[in-house]
Structure formats: C-alpha cells, structure tokens
Structure 1
Amino acid sequence: MKVQAQNGSAWIMEMATLGMLMLALIWAQSAQAVSQWSDYLNTEHRFEHRHIDGADVIVMVVPETSGAIMLPKMWQDETKNAVSAALEVAEFSGKQGQMVELLAPPGFYAKRLWVVGMGSELNRFDAEQLGATIAAKVTDKMSTVVVHARALSPSQIAAMAHGMDLRNYRFDRYKQTPKARPSYVTHWHGQDGEAAEAAYLATKPLAHGVFVARDIINLPGSDGYPAAIAELAERAVAPYGIKARVYGPEQVKAMGMGALYGVSQGSQHKAHLLVLEWHGGDKGEQPIAFVGKGNTFDTGGYNLKTSGDSIVRMQTDKAGGGAVIGAMMALAGEQVDFNVVGVVPLSHNLISGTATLPGDVLVAGDGTRIEVVNTDAEGRLILADGIWYARDKLNARAIADIATLTGSKVRALGTDYAAVFSDHPELLEAMKAAGDETGELVWQLPLGPYKGIIDSWLADIQNVGSPGAQAGARLLQHFAKDTPWIHLDIAGNAYATSAKGIHPAGGNGYGVRLLAEWAKRYAEKTQ
C-alpha cells in the first residue's frame, strides 16, 4: 500500500490490486490470525454484487448535490415517490453525515432504507466514521445489511467497512451474561467488488492491532500485570512473523535498567521489558523504533492518587504500550519493507515496604542518576530505560515514544488532540500528516527553552518540573540524545466512558493507527 498526500488532500491512496491481493492471501493463510479475528467480531463483509430480497436494511450512500437525489431506475414509482418526498421534507442534500431513515417504504424490497450523505469529498477517516455511524444504528435484530456504494471508490468502501469493524468491537469478558455482539452480514454493491475486497482485507491487521491494544487497555490491573501483558502480546504478534523477546525482572535489573525496575519494586509483579522486531528491510538496516509506556496499574506509589475517579481507571496507563504492540501488528501484517521495532517497558506501580520512596535516586540504563521527587511521575522513568534500550541496544534510526504521561497535557489540549514534542522537523511533519490521515490529531507543544526544568541538586536530573508536560518530554529527550526522537503524550485520549465514532466505550486503541501511518510516511521520506 502506498499512501501519498497531494494538493492538500489527506487521503489520496494509490493501491496496487496485485499488492492488495498478496496481503489478503497472507492474511487468509494465517489460521491463527483468522481464529483471533473471530474472537472479536461476529460480523462479515461480502463484496459480490447480487440482488437480495428481504434485507433488513438497504443503505444508499449518495454524494452531495444541489439538485434532486438520483434514485435507482429499477425502483418502483411508488417507492421513488415516497423516498423523494421524505428526502425533500428532511432537506436532505447529501452533506456528509446526513441520514434519512425510512421504515418499509411502499413497494420496497427491503424492510428499511437509510439514505446517507457522503459529502462532496470523502477522505479515509470520514469514510471510517461513516461506516461506524451505520454500524452504531444496526440493531441485534438485523442480520442482513446491503450498502449501495457505487459513488465510492474501492478504497472508500474498504475504509467504511473498516470503520464498521472498529465500532463493533466489544470487551465483555467480565460480564456474567454479555449482551449479544453485533452479528450480521454486510453486502457491498460497488463498482469493483474484487478491488474493494482486497483493500478491505488489507485493513484487517490494522483492525486486529487496534483490538489487541483495546484489550490491553481494558484489562484490570490485577489481571493485566507485566508478565500477563507480555504473554498476551507474544500470542497476538505470533501470526505476523514478529520476533518477540521478553526480559524478566532479574534480566531487567542485570541490564542496569534501574529506572524501570524501581517503579515496580514495591509490587509482587516486578518489571518486564517486551521487545518486538519486524525485519522487512535489509539486514543491518537501522530500524524505526516505537517505545510505549506499559505501566499496567498506577496507584501513584507513595505519592498516592487520592481521587477515586482518577485511580479507578489507572489500568489505562498501559495504553502507550498497547499502541506499540498494535502498530507492530499492523505494519507486519502489511508486510512493510523496512525494519521496525517496538519496546514496551512494563511496570506495576504499587506501595509496599520495598517500594521506591520520594527522594530516592534510581540509576537508569545509560548511567543517569534520577532523583524521584514524585513517585506518581513513573511513566517517564520506565520510558527512559525503554528509549535507552531502543537507541543503545537496537541502534534505532528514529524513536517515537507514546504514553499517557501528564495531566498537564489534558489541561493544555483536552482530549481531541495528542501533544507532540520534537526538535526534528521531518518527524513532526510525518506525525502531523499521519494524524490528519487517521483522525488521531496531534498538536505540537514547545520543548524549550525551559532551561533547568529537570535539574536536581541531589542527582543528575529529577523526574518532575514545571510546566509538567514539558518536564516529562525534556527528561525523555535526555535519553534519546542525538537520535531523532518524537514524543506523544496521549493522556486523556485512550479511554472514553461512552461510544463515539469508530470507538466503543472503554479503551479505544488510540495511537495504533497513528504510529503505523507515521512510520510508513517517515520511512518513505528517509529510505
């Protein structure tokens, strides 16, 4: 798949059908991947064009127009008259997101008709959102959905189907009697069913990566501890040819990663380091590296979180690690032709007689002494050793770290944007373009000057400073040294209490799509 930006458009995709079919074949040949896919969705997409009588709903996707909406010639006159009247009353013009619903139109061959506007242009993310909107309206009493999409390209149809998949994910393993998951077949009637199917199948590894990231985020802290997340990740990436290595607590300690080890030393679940490698490029080629915060539960340590609302969702503190694992699956599933590695430091920040105390000094992998002024600023400590490992042990040519890091970020930007920090224009340009493409938007915050922001009188540096988001970023930059580096603070972005767009309630897998798209764009510019 080759993705390009042209004339300001965020979504002009040139897809080679042969390449898509090869990706589809790779997916279909992986029995494990197919089995895992069925664990998440009971829905199915079919792309052959055939007439279906008695469908539960016909969805007609139409472009924006200033005139009358063109209805299919084969419809009966009484159907066309009823639909035209309904559209006129609703002042429907085909603007993006407009929808008119009709129940059992006279003379119609389906139980319902939904007329949906696609606007004058439909980029990738808008197409995904449109698919999610349709998925959200399909009830558990519907088994057959037919989408008339002749106005859409194969890639737009694939994006809509992908959006439906993302919305239909459910995390229901803790419910005694889970509500039935969506279970229906969507038939797509477009211009080129074979190309649409190939394009859709190419989205499956990306969706699977998002699903795994959501699982990781949603797992409660007592079940989603470091060793458990490492084991889950190993199983998830195995069908994709990703090499996985897990370093246990004693190995972490022996390698000198005292910042990572120190965060977990108060828990029975000690620190682990998960390393994932995809070799799609030449042997010896420097990889692009992701480093994701995997703090599997955060009490704040001795700087205890005292708000019930803040502590109850702290299993989401591993969202950055989940994003890295999911992005690795997406890129390997797409068979990208460059080397990429994922590093996920895994910790469990609890209180006990052995826990790190405020004022303690931890020694990171590169020898830096860090004064722990606040034990609740633990994410940057584990990321420090993760970044060091990616730079020193994996010889990364560029590093992107991602973390639910600071409340300061939420106060600055809210939850619509992730904060991005970097001094490297080429990394920033690729990240901003990736955000526009995927709808996971980023906004750059300054790294400097902020001189002395993390200076310590006791050690080399300290783990807090003001402004808070910048202090976290500056600490991480210290460990990247001269390696091109970019930092994503996704605090507030990774979890929602209610469903919206392509995301159901709970963990949303934020960052999987963003990192995967960023890596492709950056690799294309630097190869």
Structure 2
Amino acid sequence: MRKITRWWSLAVAALLLSFTASAQYLNTSASFTESTVTEGDVLVLLVPEHENTLSVPGWSNESNRHLQRALSAADFTGKARQQADILAPAGLSFDRLLVLGVGAPSEFPRHSAELLGADLAVYVDRAKAERVVVDAGLITGASENRDIVAAVAHGVDLRNYRFDRYKSEPAARPAAQFTWIVTSRSNTETAYGQMNALAQGVFIARELTNLPGSDGYPAAFAEYARQQLEPLGVEVRIYDREQVKALGMGSLLSVSEGSQHKSHLLVAHYKNNNDERPIALVGKGNTFDTGGYNLKTNAASILRMQTDKAGGAAVVGAVKALAGQQAPVNVVGVVPLSRNMISGEATLPGDVVVAGDGTTIEVANTDAEGRLILADGIWYAREHLNARAIADIATLTGAKVGALGTEYSAVFTDDETILRTMREAGDLTRERVWQLPMDGYERVIQSRIADIKNTGAPGAQAGAIFLRHFAGDTPWIHIDMAGSALIDSASGIHPEGATGYGVRLLTEWVKLYSGE
C-alpha cells in the first residue's frame, strides 16, 4: 500500500511541475504613465460622449482636423463601446488610431468598461500590434479616469488568457505591451493591482476547470490549489479519503468509491480582519462525472464533464483573488472533491449513505452526485468552521438551464441580506443571479427508505431543498451556475473554453457581505 501511495505522490508532483511551467497566464504587459507617449503601433483614444467638435490637447491643428473628419465620416459621438478605426493618422507617429467611446464617464458601468477592454484586446491581436498606447486624458474626472482605465485593462487581460498546455505547437499568445496615459499613475496602478488580483483568480479557475478528467482528479486539484494559495498567506488543509471517512462524511465518500481517485476535501482559509467567524464558500468539485450507474449516454454531454468541478474552481479562484487583493475579510473556501465513475465498488442506485450530520440519504440517482458532495461540504463549514454565512456554488442541474438559460444563475435562499448583496455583486460583475422559490417544495426529496433522497422534481428546487437541510440555521445561499462554466467560442471577456464564472461574483459578494 505504501508503494502505491508513493507512486500517486510522484504522479501528483509531476503534474504540479507541468502546472508551474505554464503558470504564467498572460504574455501581455501593462504600464501606466502621466506623460505623453508619442510613438507606437496603435494609439487608442478613450473618448467621452460629446456633441461638439472633439479636440485633443497637445495635438497639432492638422491632426485634430484629420481626427474630426474621420469621426464625422464614421458618425462617431463617443457612445459607450462605439469604435472608429483610422489608418495612418496625419501628424502622429502611429500606424493606426483607434477611438473608443466611453459614454458619460460617471455613468459608464464597470462591466461595460471590461467589455470595451475585451474589444480592444481582439482589435490589437488582429492588428498584430506590439506597442499599444491608450490615452485616457479626455476622461477628466480623477476617479472616473482611474476606474475606467483599470476596468478596461482588466477586460484586456481576461480576454487574452489562453489554455494551450496540451497543444504541441500552440498559437502565439497575445504579447502586446500596453502603456496607459492616465491622470494619476499611483492611483491607477493601485486600482489595476486590485483588478489584476481578481484576474489571477479567474485564471486559476479557468485552468482548473479546463483540465481533463484524468489530469484534474481530486488529489491533483487540491495540491494545485495549495500551490497557488499558500504563498498568499492562505492556510490550506487537504483531507484524503481516510480522513474524510474518519470525519463521518459518508455522502462525499460515496461518490468516488467507483474510482481509483478517491474523495478529498480541500479547506482554504484566508483571515485578514478581526471577525471570529468566517464566511464560507463551498464549491462542487466533481472532477469528472460519468453519471455513475445512471450513466450519461449523450456523447456531447459527457465530453464536457471535466467542467463539473467549475464550482470548486470558482471557490479556489475567489479565495486567491481576495488574498491577492489583501481584502480585509475572513473567508474560507471548502471544496469537496470527487470523481464519479463505475466499478464493482461504485455506489448503486438505491443505496443509502450517511452524511456527516447523521442524515441518511437514499441515492435515487447516482448522476445527482453534486448535492451529495456539497452536503458534507456545507455541513463541514457549519459544524467544524462555525461559518457565519455559507454560499455554495455548483453546476448542479439541467433544470436551471431550462428555467433561466445561461444569462443568469439561479439562487435559492431565505436570507434577505445575502440575497441583496449577492444581487449587487452580480450586477457589478455581470455574473447576474435570479432568485427561484423554495416555498412549497419541501416534500419533493422525501424518501421511502431513508431520511431524504437526492432527487425530486422540479430538479433545481429539489437540489436546493436538499442542500438547505445541511446548512441548518446558518444563513445560506445556493448558486446553481449550470450552463455557465464553458463556452465553445470566444465572447466578450471570455476566450473559448472555461469562463472562470463565479470568481468575480463571489469575490465581490464576500467584500459586500463583510461590509467593506
């Protein structure tokens, strides 16, 4: 047994070396200055909406006249995300001039600025530009200048991420050098630093979600998270199968019994204030989902099942972002990790398992495994961590996609403060949420042979009612993010592949709920 354990340790170590080799997610760079920059491949002007003739301070009359003629021809007025592309601008030492509208700066929302940054990233990549100068001097308000630039730069970074570790000859990553001309260099650098820490959280979530099932198994996921979080002052503890069993978490334990990669529990605690009780984020970390003996038979569906760990990845990313921002919060990430496979030892439909709190659960469907692992994760956060509030997040049900599509996540809660702050965080980041009801659905998880069962109809409500049982009296919210973990083609701030959805939502929610 010791030789087998040693072999797996070496395998995990080898995998971590490959992670480290490609841990640099971006090849682009960003610098900030208050000085004029007169040379480069592309000059970008951030322009507020205007009615009168536009004149750029410091430009010659000839350059301003050329600019005005081009903008008039394009009917450009500076509306939000409006673009005008000008080749070989007269009197300027740039090959191209790109003019981007920011609307009314005081009313330009953060998510729109991030989308503008994504637009800019696409433009620069297609133009093969290496030196990009972005002049924000026409945004005269100091706070608006700082916030818009930081958000646009953040959008550039989010779009430029690539997952190419398995490509023999990966396409060249975007590698432009961005120089931002701003009102206050120090203030903008600080604001961008906060956004960059958030981006790093998104990147680790994308990386973990993108990993194929045979590489992103429970032990590897947990060790990679440890490697990323501990240098930031996060206390990380990893429970293996025997420790999970000793804690009595039979619900989590049951899901991985059919796999050689057994269940683990990842606990990552970041404390940077005087709150005695942490806010707990609990993320579903099912690293691959065959459905178990309720086997998934749709080839397109099972092919995407490495994304079943996206909720857990979002929790790791949010903890990393908060630690990177040095946010004054007390937060703990709890990720129950499993791999749902079939073998002679796998859980069977109709089996009864015992959760950490003693609840007996009829496994009416082995493909409803996410709530089984989350149940013990939520219980652990309540019982062992004394959490003041719990938010769980998961790619849980197809019923949620049927109800809301992918523009909103479904949320379930009885707590008005949690709901209000989660909605605010969703509106800020454009990872929006919509509350679905639980009242009247309490009986849908009744079991004939056990305390409760892990299925019921409607499906999204059944999952939420099941999970609420394990939160007890602790303020709690369930986020069903099904359908938001992966996109097949690039869109907005997301390249193709894993989106890192939930990192930005949870990061902002923790700060709002903490009263920052």
TM-score by length of 1: 0.90
* Contact 2:364–2:455 (CA under 8 A) maintained in structure 1: yes
Q: Deviations over 1:210-252 (max 9, x none)?
A: 1100000000000000000001100010221000000001111
Q: 1:449 deviation in Å?
A: 1.0
Q: Deviations over 1:123-151 (max 9, x none)?
A: 22211111111011112731110111120
SS of equivalent to 1:501: coil
Residue from 96, 106, 109 that aligns with 1:112:
96
Residue identity in the other structure for 2:131: T
Match runs of 1:134-173 below 5 Å: 134-139=120-125, 141-150=128-137, 151=139, 152-173=144-165
SS of equivalent to 1:487: strand
Match runs of 1:207-356 below 5 Å: 207-282=199-274, 285-356=276-347
Other-structure match for 1:190? 182
Q: 1:425 deviation in Å?
A: 0.2
Unaligned runs of 5+ in 1: 1-34
Other-structure match for 2:27? 42
Unaligned runs of 5+ in 2: 1-19
Match runs of 1:34-113 below 5 Å: 39-68=24-53, 70-113=54-97
Whole-angstrom distance in 1 between the partners of 2:381 and 2:487: 31
* Contact 1:275–1:342 (CA under 8 A) maintained in structure 2: yes
Q: 1:77 deviation in Å?
A: 3.7
Residue identity in the other structure for 1:74: G
* Contact 1:54–1:111 (CA under 8 A) maintained in structure 2: no
Residue identity in the other structure for 1:488: I
Residue identity in the other structure for 1:397: R
**For structure 1, which segment, 156-165 or 206-215, has the greater mean C-alpha deviation from structure 2 after superposition?**
156-165
* Contact 1:37–1:208 (CA under 8 A) maintained in structure 2: no
Whole-angstrom distance in 2 between the partners of 1:319 and 1:139: 28
In structure 2, relative to structure 1, the CA distance for the partners of 1:75 and 1:38 (3 Å cut) is farther
Residue from 105, 110, 118 that aligns with 1:124:
110
Residue 355 (structure 2) pairs with residue 364 (structure 1): yes
* Contact 2:121–2:159 (CA under 8 A) maintained in structure 1: yes
Residue identity in the other structure for 1:46: S
Q: How many residues align?
A: 489
* Contact 1:63–1:94 (CA under 8 A) maintained in structure 2: yes
Other-structure match for 1:3? none
Other-structure match for 2:192? 200
Match runs of 1:380-459 below 5 Å: 380-459=371-450
Residue 464 (structure 2) pairs with residue 500 (structure 1): no
Residue identity in the other structure for 1:100: A
* Contact 2:34–2:183 (CA under 8 A) maintained in structure 1: no
Residue from 490, 494, 500 that aligns with 1:509:
500
Residue identity in the other structure for 1:58: L
In structure 2, relative to structure 1, the CA distance for the partners of 1:154 and 1:73 (3 Å cut) is closer
In structure 2, relative to structure 1, the CA distance for the partners of 1:218 and 1:466 (3 Å cut) is same
Other-structure match for 2:5? none
Residue identity in the other structure for 1:426: T
SS of equivalent to 2:515: helix
Other-structure match for 2:466? 475
Identity %: 58
SS of equivalent to 1:315: helix
Whole-angstrom distance in 2 between the partners of 1:169 and 1:515: 20
Whole-angstrom distance in 1 between the partners of 2:442 and 2:505: 31
Q: 1:38 deviation in Å?
A: 6.8
* Contact 2:442–2:465 (CA under 8 A) maintained in structure 1: no
SS of equivalent to 2:84: strand
TM-score by length of 2: 0.92
Whole-angstrom distance in 2 between the partners of 1:463 and 1:202: 40
Q: Deviations over 1:255-290 (max 9, x none)?
A: 11111110000001000000011121227x011000
Other-structure match for 1:181? 173
* Contact 1:48–1:188 (CA under 8 A) maintained in structure 2: yes
Q: 1:37 deviation in Å?
A: 9.7
SS of equivalent to 1:385: helix
Q: 1:166 deviation in Å?
A: 1.0
Q: Deviations over 1:27-80 (max 9, x none)?
A: xxxxxxxx9997111111111134434411011011112333x13143344433
Whole-angstrom distance in 1 between the partners of 2:57 and 2:386: 62
* Contact 1:421–1:446 (CA under 8 A) maintained in structure 2: yes
Other-structure match for 2:370? 379
SS of equivalent to 1:452: helix
* Contact 2:329–2:510 (CA under 8 A) maintained in structure 1: no
Whole-angstrom distance in 2 between the partners of 1:201 and 1:165: 12
SS of equivalent to 1:358: coil
Residue identity in the other structure for 1:286: R
Whole-angstrom distance in 2 between the partners of 1:75 and 1:205: 36
Alpha-carbon RMSD across the aligned residues, in angstroms, is 1.5
Whole-angstrom distance in 1 between the partners of 2:386 and 2:252: 20
Q: 1:155 deviation in Å?
A: 2.0
Whole-angstrom distance in 2 between the partners of 1:438 and 1:264: 34
In structure 2, relative to structure 1, the CA distance for the partners of 1:115 and 1:38 (3 Å cut) is farther
Residue identity in the other structure for 1:199: A
